[in-house]
């Protein structure tokens, strides 16, 4: 039923400072996919080390090759690679991974500003190669992980306008907090619980820039829909052609209720079958051409 745009799988999970292991093994991932009704998944390697242990893109390619087409590999490149400069030859590496079967790049989450010249170099190269890019936006700079943007997402808008042929897939707390207007800029660091007062920057950007898509995975995507169920239906109706189901499972027992929420919206008639199918699997299939 579902095509998961946001999956992490490690052959060799590692121990976190909290004492538990990240991420799912291939065997654990297969079990969870059966439980959740997932028939295909995009594997996203993590290469930036601010919070997580980096993973080889080659490992993800190998896992995908052994999956009989169920797992689609993305590559990932930290924009500081090679020379930590704004003219690093990242394009050659993207082409290398594209020739190995990678269909996109992500999850991109180095803790840099979107307008950082090194990140701009990455975007320029990705647009030229023709891959979609899945990114995580944060409101924190010099702490933790994620691409930094200011309140109101002005840097994201700059990038959407500058790279019109690059398909951006938005994700993360600081992205989803702005589905509505912020009562306080600090709300970008949390999952706002209040209802939508007025439309935020995310609907505006989706309406203005056809190269922006969105990933409903993790607590941030779920909260964006649950905090105001009436507005969630309005939002999904308008942008059902660019929304994507995702889980972002990080450990074996992590719940993922987003699928049940979407099914309930469909079964109660709040979301049409065509809209549900697009979000569940159609949009990512169309974007990747798989």
pLDDT at 51: 87
How high is the pLDDT of residue 219?
97
pTM greater than the 0.95 cutoff: yes
232-242 pLDDT, tens digit each: 999 999 999 99
Domain boundaries, the chain: 2-288
Cβ within 8 Å of residue 190, ≥6 positions away = 173, 177
Average pLDDT per run of 10 along the chain, which is 290 residues long?
98 92 96 98 96 96 98 98 97 98 98 99 99 97 94 99 99 98 93 96 99 98 98 98 98 96 98 99 98
Any idea which fold 2-288 has? TIM Barrel (3.20.20)
Show Cβ contacts of residue 128 under 8 Å, excluding neighbours closer than 6 positions.
91
Q: What does the pLDDT read at residue 142? A: 87
Give the Å distances, CA to CA, from 67 to 31, 145, 287.
Answer: 14, 30, 21
Q: Quick check: 77 and 47 in contact, CB under 8 A?
A: yes
**Helix or strand or coil: residue 42?**
strand
CA-wise closest residue to 230 among 176, 180, 187: 180
In 10 A of CB 267, how many CB atoms?
Answer: 10
DSSP calls for 177-218: GGGB--SSGGGGGS---SPPSSB-HHHHHHHH-TTEEEE--H
187-223: pLDDT as tens digits:
998 999 999 999 999 999 999 999 999 999 999 999 9
| CB 1 within 8 Å of CB 280 | yes
């Amino acid at each position: 039923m579902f095509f998961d745009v946001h999956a992490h799988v490690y052959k060799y999970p590692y121990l976190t400072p909290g004492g538990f292991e990240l991420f799912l093994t291939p065997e654990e991932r297969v079990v969870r996919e059966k439980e959740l009704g997932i028939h295909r998944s995009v594997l996203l390697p993590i290469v930036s080390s601010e919070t997580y242990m980096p993973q080889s893109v080659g490992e993800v390619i190998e896992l995908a090759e052994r999956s009989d087409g169920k797992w689609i590999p993305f590559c990932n490149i930290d924009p500081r690679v090679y020379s930590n400069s704004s003219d690093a030859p990242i394009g050659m590496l993207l082409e290398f991974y594209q020739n190995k079967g990678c269909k996109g790049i992500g999850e991109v989450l180095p803790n840099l500003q979107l307008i950082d010249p090194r990140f701009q170099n990455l975007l320029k190269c990705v647009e030229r190669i023709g891959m979609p890019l899945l990114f995580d936006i944060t409101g924190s700079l010099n702490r933790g992980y994620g691409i930094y943007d200011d309140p109101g997402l002005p840097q994201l808008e700059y990038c959407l306008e500058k790279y019109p042929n690059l398909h951006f897939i938005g994700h993360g707390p600081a992205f989803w907090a702005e589905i509505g207007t912020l009562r306080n800029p600090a709300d970008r660091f949390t999952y706002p619980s209040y209802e939508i007062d007025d439309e935020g920057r995310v609907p505006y950007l989706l309406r203005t820039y056809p190269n922006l898509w969105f990933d409903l995975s993790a607590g941030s995507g779920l909260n964006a829909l649950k905090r105001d169920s009436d507005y969630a239906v309005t939002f999904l109706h308008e942008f059902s052609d660019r929304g994507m189901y995702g889980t972002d499972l990080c450990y074996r027992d992590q719940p993922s209720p987003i699928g049940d929420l979407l099914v309930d919206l469909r079964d109660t008639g709040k979301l049409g079958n065509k809209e549900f199918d697009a979000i569940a699997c159609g949009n990512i299939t169309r974007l990747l051409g798989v």
